[in-house]
Structure 1
Amino acid sequence: MILYTPLSETDIFPHSQNEFSNRHCVNYQGKMLFVEEGKDGTYSLLQLLSTDPQDFLDEKYTPGTKIR
């Protein structure tokens, strides 16, 4: 089976459920984001989920950005 996807292998087949349980889809400032929750309560942006190309040019949606 061939799976064509922009996601990484570990996003599709996580090593354990605990590793994937701290990742969420959230609505932040009107944009859908895929984030990972940190131990200090902040979220780290993993992926911007948008169909608008202009959203990807905005620096505040760069992967790795910390969100409160």
Structure 2
Amino acid sequence: MILYTMMPHELVFGSQMEETNRRQVDVNGVPLLIEMNGEEAKVIQILSTNPMDFLNQETAPGQTLKLTFYK
């Protein structure tokens, strides 16, 4: 795949500094990308290919999850 853009590499692909506190976890069988914030985690992205997983409000992007389940 070739990507033609005038945007800087950091804006298109993100910087490594941003992703240091991000992890991939499974919540009820749904793979999620979360960002760690102390005792809580914020859902950044749903990594599932199942369309029904995107309708679940508990794992929607922007939701806050408790970390006790993911240690």
Q: Same fold per TM (> 0.5)?
A: yes
Aligned residues: 60
1:6 equivalent in structure 2: none
TM-score, normalisation: structure 2? 0.70
Q: Given the alignment, which residue of 30, 52, 55 partners 1:54?
A: 52
TM-score, normalisation: structure 1? 0.72
Please identify the structure whose Cα radius of gyration is greater: 2
Q: Which runs of 5+ in 1 are unaligned?
A: 4-8
SS class of match (1:37): strand
Residues 26-56 of structure 1: per-residue CA shift (max 9 Å, x gap)? 11111110000002x2100000111111111
Higher helix share: 2
Q: Which runs of 5+ in 2 are unaligned?
A: 5-9, 67-71
Q: Given the alignment, which residue of 32, 45, 56 partners 2:43?
A: 45
RMSD (CA atoms) = 2.1
